[in-house]
Copies of this chain bind each other. A is one copy, B any other.
């Protein structure tokens, strides 16, 4: 049998979320030719979950020829550890403790598998198919429900000594600042630049500037979320815009510190908050530059992800496969 040319190889990308698992078959250029999803939540038993996943993916594998074109399976999951191949104590998944998922998938599918957390997968995806193509040094920050990060140095993802490197959302930017709803830490990046953080900032500003009119005042506090704030901001609502300005400033402070650590070529931002565009990019850039040592100034781009948000998780997971040795 002749070997398959590398350019024709395909990868399976699986992204495991707390509610659903999505997957796809991806080629070298990031084209997704098959997509599917199953429920994560309903499977308290990992064996049942793997059975359903296998059944769902099997038709696609047969179509492509499991032993010929598919190079392997990449998996993005919360608390996924690249070194051990285990999901370790993920608070929002149905399986407790340590789950040796890479091994289980490898066994079930008879294909090499690699696992990492979702933010790391996003960074590899961006490097393989997106805005970081050709970059050897960049930092990816995901601004979503939480704040995740993936760091690439010398063309390789930084996993650190134990596989858990790159928790930039939990670095403390404002000592003694806002208390994190889950970790209890004060002033971490995530308390300000996540969807929840933005919502808390808007509510704080509404209470602080009682005389300032805002569309947001038409809603109860518990109706305010990051989507509503975004809608108000693009309608020109001053208080909503100020919410983004503040968020961008905190982000900029954090980015300056990250740049002085690893001196990347670019910072790539991904996730819901990026939709606000210059409302957040512009203050982030300005504050970052102000906090940088001169040798770092005006060198680092802050750019949005080039991956479609709905595809990014599958693409990121699939990109792990091309890194398999």
Contacts and interface: CB of A to CB of B under 8 A. Distances in A.
Most buried by B among A79, A170, A183: A170
A168 B151 CA distance: 17
Contacts of A256: 171-172
Interface string A150-189: 0101101011111111111011111100000001010000
A260 interface: yes
A296 B156 contact: no
A257 interface: yes
Interface residues of A, number: 43
Contact of A263 (B161, B172, B291): B161
A135 B96 CA distance: 32
A197 interface: no
Interface in A28-49: none
B264 A171 contact: no
Question: Residue among A172, A253, A264, A299 with the most chain B CB within 10 A?
Answer: A172
A27 interface: no
A214 B202 CA distance: 48
A153 to B, nearest CB: 6
Contact of A167 (B79, B137, B293): B293
21 contacts: A137-B161, A153-B160, A154-B154, A154-B156, A154-B158, A158-B263, A159-B263, A160-B263, A160-B264, A161-B265, A162-B263, A166-B261, A166-B262, A168-B260, A170-B260, A171-B261, A172-B253, A174-B175, A183-B294, A185-B291, A261-B261
